Amino acid sequence: MKIETIAIHAGTIITDSNRPAIQPITTSTTFEHHEGSLIYTRANNPNRMALEQVLSRLENGEDAAAFSSGNAAAMAVYQALPAGSHIIAPDDMYHGIKKQLVEIFKGIHETSFVDMSDLQAVSDAIRENTKLIWIETPSNPLLKVTDIRAVVRIAKNAGLLVACDNTFATPIFQNPLDLGADLVMHSTTKFLGGHSDVLGGALVTKKKSEFWEKIKMVQHVGGAVPSPFDCYFLTRSIKTLPYRMKAHQQNAMALATFLENHPKVEKVFYPGLPSHDGYEVAASQMSGFSGVLSFTVVGGAEKADHLISKLKFFTNATSLGGVESLIERRAAVEGPDSQTPSNLVRVSVGLENIQDLLEDLEKGLA
């Protein structure tokens, strides 16, 4: 099956003898004991099984684990590591997950935050107790690109695990497991959900292993699992993911090109622009550049806020990956410890008509 077919057909497990075309939502938290039966919805549920099945097929993995948020998915990886592990993570990392490492795992694990585009810095950060290299590419919010194959080479020489946050690229444009990573993580809240109405996360493993069994244990004993409704809506959204992503990318490319040529814009960060630092690596490991971009506005944070306030079709809100366009000044959201430039605006490019989006920005920047 090709990707569009997988997205539509791999997320269905029908057990009902009426043979509905669409898998119903199984709301029961418990199941009558019988040979091979499911037991309890925290441990497993038909809708979660269907979601995990389509996720592992999309990422070419052997198994998947769905969680109640992207943060919960990432946390399960850190919880599954033995205490005292050292983790290498990117300096430009989704701030909520960075906060887990800095605040929650303080005293349990150690983390080095390094610039992953500097492969020497990655090698130099390895210690005796290093267990995991965490990649995020393209990164949030600077769209920095990490060479997945190269980091995997470094990790494998040292016997380390590699996990990749693939939220921005989605499985449509990038498959880290095919490039050698052991685990993929998603905030399914974003493009996979696609309509800004479901919170969720997932891990996909290339191979079942002892470490993976530990993650599955954290999933069902820890209990940060998605509801059957969440799983249903996600499998439903995933059916259109390949087509949504093509359109997100097309609109994002057009906006990035427009912004790059605008005098009120300092710099555009979009991996699909040949001027972007990570363009060549991105082009070698992604089949598309997805739908998020950032740019810095001439005149500082105040001018950036002014632009945002004038826009009609870009809602000033956090998150990304929905059909509607969103914009936010990222440093204001990340708080006082943010290292993001104060005049940087992040855009999640939606599926509105590109002419409307371009005109809106043109007027806003005028």
Ligand X SMILES: *Cc1c(COP(=O)(O)O)cnc(C)c1O
Catalytic residue annotation: 42, 94, 165, 190
Q: Kindly tell me which residue out of 96, 113, 258, 305 binds ligand X, with binding defined by CB under 6 A.
A: 96
Identify the helix (H) or strand (E) that includes residue 120.
helix 119-125
199 binds ligand X (CB under 6 A): yes
222 binds ligand X (CB under 6 A): no
**Coil/strand/helix, residue 176:** helix
Angstrom distance (rounded) from CA 341 to CA 113:
18
Angstrom distance (rounded) from CA 296 to CA 277:
15
180 binds ligand X (CB under 6 A): no
Minimal distance in Å, beta carbon 130 to ligand X?
A: 22
71 binds ligand X (CB under 6 A): yes
If the CB atoms of residues 63 and 136 are measured against ligand X, the closer one turns out to be: 136
If the CB atoms of residues 160 and 326 are measured against ligand X, the closer one turns out to be: 326
Angstrom distance (rounded) from CA 2 to CA 8:
10
70 binds ligand X (CB under 6 A): yes
344 Cβ contact partners less than 8 Å away, ≥ 6 residues apart: 141, 142, 269, 294, 295, 296, 304, 329, 330, 331
314 binds ligand X (CB under 6 A): no
Angstrom distance (rounded) from CA 76 to CA 219:
7
187 binds ligand X (CB under 6 A): yes
**Residue 227's closest CA among 83, 353, 41?**
41
> Edge-to-edge strand order for the sheet containing 315-316?
265-269, 292-297, 344-348, 326-329, 315-316
**Coil/strand/helix, residue 190:** coil
Minimal distance in Å, beta carbon 168 to ligand X?
A: 6
**Residue 327's closest CA among 300, 289, 293?**
293
Minimal distance in Å, beta carbon 102 to ligand X?
A: 15
Q: Kindly tell me which residue out of 45, 79, 117, 140 binds ligand X, with binding defined by CB under 6 A.
A: 140
How many amino acids of this chain bind ligand X (CB under 6 A)?
16
Minimal distance in Å, beta carbon 94 to ligand X?
A: 4
If the CB atoms of residues 63 and 230 are measured against ligand X, the closer one turns out to be: 230
Angstrom distance (rounded) from CA 307 to CA 294:
14
Q: Using CB positions, name the residue nearest to ligand X.
A: 70
Angstrom distance (rounded) from CA 213 to CA 177:
18
Stretch that binds ligand X, among 77-85, 152-160, 161-169, 249-257 (CB under 6 A): 161-169
69 binds ligand X (CB under 6 A): yes
Write each residue from 99 to 138 as x if it is in contact with ligand X (CB under 6 A), else as -, in one continuous string: -------------------------------------x--
Minimal distance in Å, beta carbon 51 to ligand X?
A: 14
330 close to 94: Cβ distance less than 8 angstroms: no
Please give the residue ranges that form the binding site for ligand X (CB under 6 A). 69-71, 94, 96-97, 136, 140, 165, 167-168, 187, 189-190, 199, 201
